[in-house]
Amino acid sequence: MSKEKNEVVKIWREYPAFRDIQFSTILTSFFTWSSFIAMLVLLASITETGIQFGTLWAVSGLAPILFSLYLGVWVDRLDVRKSIIAAEIIKSVLFLGFIIIPFIDNMFVAWSIFMVIRLGTGTLNSFTSAAKQVAIPSIVKKDDLIVANSLNYTITSTVRLSGAAAGGLIVTFVGIHAAYFLTALSFIVSAWLIFRNTWKTEEHAENKERNFKREFAEGLTFAMKNVNVLLILVAALTIGTIIGSYNLMLERFNSQVYNFATYGISLLYLAEGLVSVILGYWIAKNKFLLTKTHIYGIFYSLIGVSWMAFGFTTNIIYGILVLIFFGMFCSVVVPYERTKIQMEVPPHLRGKIFSLWGTLTLAAIQLGALITGFIIDLIGLTYVPIITGFMQVIFGLTFLTVLLRKKNIDTNKKVSSVGMR
């Protein structure tokens, strides 16, 4: 086996704690897909109108976003390993709560329980997601972070491909109650996977007098002062907006523009997903990370260009080709973002930054879905990817310009300091 291939194998053998974190993510993410579909079926059974369905789904989804904004403070305060274990166990109990909802006759009570459970699971999912990202630099050596983050993205793409299809089969053949039970069980297994490992947490700066507001502001202040981190947070808004329209666009283009059979949606997902898996693996194997950070601005712009191009496609073949390029460009920037935050943000602030990053992404996804509806009604379906993609292009060019300017300023400072000597 070549040295390059060994990089991928080594990451699993040398860091068993990282391996088990990934196994826990694969397991819970896979079964969460079935619960997501079961949730939609359940919601349809406890609502009577489309307005009730849409409102309850939107409100219950927005609530975790508001709470997750502040979770980073707790991630940085608590023992990461113990807090992940506790969160997984609580999520297991909460998912079992979905089973009792269909048996409740009072609609208001059923709605209330649904809201509380979705708020709890959504908030805890945001917490564990940020906590796992914070844990990785404590487990994996700095030189191996790009491999770890690329593998992380590859795994996410793989689960996204298989989870949706398997989720539908689970709900169809064993029912929504079994789907919730299996999801709850997956969180218990996940907690055990984390429990059986120990790792040394990086030392955090001591806070003699803990103040929630001050700690939260400290994270925001760092993000505003660090150009690289700030740009990544802005990227969460532009890419999140595209994600918010992505699922609907694939379905609408397949049925209304391409006039293709329903399985065409699966072909479109596979085109983007498979290239993400393959390229993500290649990036991990080769430890691919651009040394000239400003070049990532070109890839951010290319994400926007490829999404804009999707708006001009007229048949499924063109759609598949465009999404292949879209997946390629996304695969390059995602490992960079995670690695950059892990390397540049001090240990005592990582939870806050990852939490803020996740919150901005979730908020942008909701905003993207809202913008999509307005664009479709006002000017037409095909303009959705064109407009949201153009926003991404503007960001990419801004990213490139800002970092080139920063590079020139830093170079001039070095020249000046040498001249003074």
- DSSP annotation of 48: S
What number of other Cβ atoms are within 10 A of residue 59's Cβ? Answer: 13
- Higher-confidence residue: 218 or 331? 331
CB 351 within 8 A of CB 83: no
- Mean pLDDT value of segment 45-56: 67
Q: Please, what is the average pLDDT of the chain?
A: 83
What pLDDT, in 10s, does the model give residues 354-374? 878 888 888 888 788 778 878
Q: What pLDDT band is residue 227 in, cutting at 50, 70 and 90?
A: very high
Q: What pLDDT band is residue 377 in, cutting at 50, 70 and 90?
A: confident
Report how far residue 282's alpha carbon sits from residue 270's, in angstroms, rounded to the nearest whole number.
18
Q: What pLDDT band is residue 307 in, cutting at 50, 70 and 90?
A: very high
Report how far residue 322's alpha carbon sits from residue 266's, in angstroms, rounded to the nearest whole number.
15
Give the contacts of 188 (CB within 8 A, at least 6 positions apart): 88, 89, 92
What pLDDT, in 10s, does the model give residues 142-195? 888 888 887 777 777 777 666 666 666 777 778 888 889 999 999 999 999 999
pLDDT value of position 1: 44
CB 408 within 8 A of CB 417: no
User: Does residue 39 have a pLDDT over 80?
Assistant: no
**Superfamily designation of domain 1-198:** MFS general substrate transporter like domains (1.20.1250.20)
User: Does residue 233 have a pLDDT over 90?
Assistant: yes
Q: Which CATH architecture has domain 211-416?
A: Up-down Bundle (1.20)
Q: Where are the domains of the chain?
A: 1-198, 211-416
